[in-house]
Amino acid sequence: MLRNYVGDKVIDFAYTTEAGGRSTLYRTKGDLLFLFFYHIDCDMCKATKVNITDHGIDCKIKTLYADQDKNTHLDALYGLRTTPTLYLLDKNKTVLLKETPIEIINDYLK
């Protein structure tokens, strides 16, 4: 089932921080939030990460490891068919852009 359509408030989820703590998507503050779902062995994900840096995306970026074995809840909530999967959210966690190439996201932010 597809979820999180453009214009919808995105589904919240819990995640482990880099420091080993727990947080949720809704606790992440910022006027704009860029979600980057990736897989560590994905060449396109690596290239996209470089493109994010090269484009100087000017918003909070949340990078989430979409390992199908460990994060099946993310796959179920977000329908992660492929990686990388990119979302742009507003401060209310409403989907502005979904599964959109980095170049289009960059143009949107200009």
Is 98 inside any structural domain? yes
What's the angle, vertex CA 33, arms to CA 30 and CA 38, rounded to 5? 145
Per-residue pLDDT of the chain (110 residues; tens, 9 = 90+): 567 889 999 989 888 887 888 899 999 988 999 888 888 888 988 888 888 777 777 778 888 887 654 555 777 777 777 888 889 999 999 999 998 888 888 888 88
Is 3 inside any structural domain? no
Is 8 inside any structural domain? no
Sign of the torsion formed by the C-alpha atoms of 31, 108, 5 and 2: negative
Is 1 inside any structural domain? no
Cα–Cα distance measured from residue 35 to residue 43, given in angstroms and rounded to the nearest whole number: 18
Q: How many domains does the chain have?
A: 1
Is 6 inside any structural domain? no
User: For position 87, which CATH number holds?
Assistant: 3.40.30.10
Is 4 inside any structural domain? no
Is 85 inside any structural domain? yes
The answer to whether the beta carbons of residues 17 and 43 sit under 8 Å apart is no
For the whole model, what pTM was predicted? 0.83
For residue 25, the enclosing domain spans 14-109
